[in-house]
Amino acid sequence: MNVVIDNLPAYLEGFGQTLSLLIISGIAALVLGTVVAAMRISPIPALSRVAAIYTELLRNTPLTLVLIFCAIILPYLGSELPYFWAAIVGLTAYTSPFVAEALRSGINGVPIGQAEAARSLGFGFGQTVSLVVFPQAFRMVIPPLINVLIALTKNTSVAGGLFVAELFGVGRTLANENGNAVVAVLLAVATFYLIITIPLGILAGALEKRFAVQR
């Protein structure tokens, strides 16, 4: 236990890195994912095709490989992005298709009659989506989106394993330095992750319950 208390500043620094990775790439992935989802349902076939291919390719590539691309291949090709931002790019690219799919399945949860009714009232594509479908999809999309963010929190650890000194990276260094207290060191790391993931999970569950009653 002493190891953990002595190294609390290092933990907090790692925790800060994890949080900033989570927040920056979370926001970026939400924006990019929304754009991809909008492309996916748009009337222009080329746009929806491009979005589908993007989703399919990124979802079937392991995160490790995406981050290796950012950490090893990009500098090799001459990019001078600092590691932290390279990790953000990788995490954003990897998370955005999951955001897009969560949004799409939320849209699918709206009964089809709603869209048909809007269309029969003479609404165009933009009006149907923004005034009728999206407001209803929104509430159903929140819990799955929170789940995507929980997954992102856990995925930041891969960036730590490769190159960024966030929580996992700090934990690994400490575990290597304190061979006799590995269990305590790593349990402390786990606790910091749980501080983020469990409240988010409870929030997702509560929102899900609340919205389920309303529909």
Partner 1 sequence: MSASVLFDAPGPRARRRSRIASAVVVVAVLAVLAWGIYILAQPRESGGITLPGFFDWSRWEKLVVDPEFWGAVGRGLLNTLQAAALAAVMALVVGVLFALLRTSPRKAVRIPTMIVLEFFRGMPVLLMMLFILLAFATGAFWAVVLALGIYNGALIGEALRAGIASLPRGQHEAGLSLGMTRLQTKMLIEFPQAFRQMLPIIVAQLVVLLKDTSLGYIVGYNELIRTTMNNLSSFYGNRYLFSLFAITLIIYLAVNLTLSWFARYLARRSMSGRAAKKIAGPADPNDATTE
Residue 19 vs 161, nearer CB to partner 1: 161
Stretch that binds partner 1, among 7-15, 20-28, 61-69, 83-91 (CB under 8 A): 61-69
Q: How many residues bind partner 1 (CB under 8 A)?
A: 67
Please choose, from the candidates 213, 188, 197, the residue with its C-alpha nearest in 3D space to the C-alpha of residue 148. Answer: 197
213 contacts partner 1 (rule: CB under 8 A):
no
Residue 211, judged by CB atoms within 10 A of its CB (0-12, 13-18, 19+), counts as: middle
186 contacts partner 1 (rule: CB under 8 A):
yes
Residue 88 vs 153, nearer CB to partner 1: 153
Residues that bind partner 1 (CB under 8 A): 40-41, 43-48, 50, 56-57, 59-65, 68-69, 72-73, 76-78, 98, 101-102, 104-105, 107-108, 110, 112, 115-116, 119, 124-125, 128-129, 133, 144, 147-148, 150-151, 154-155, 157-158, 161-162, 168, 171-172, 175, 182-183, 186, 189-190, 193-194, 197-198, 201
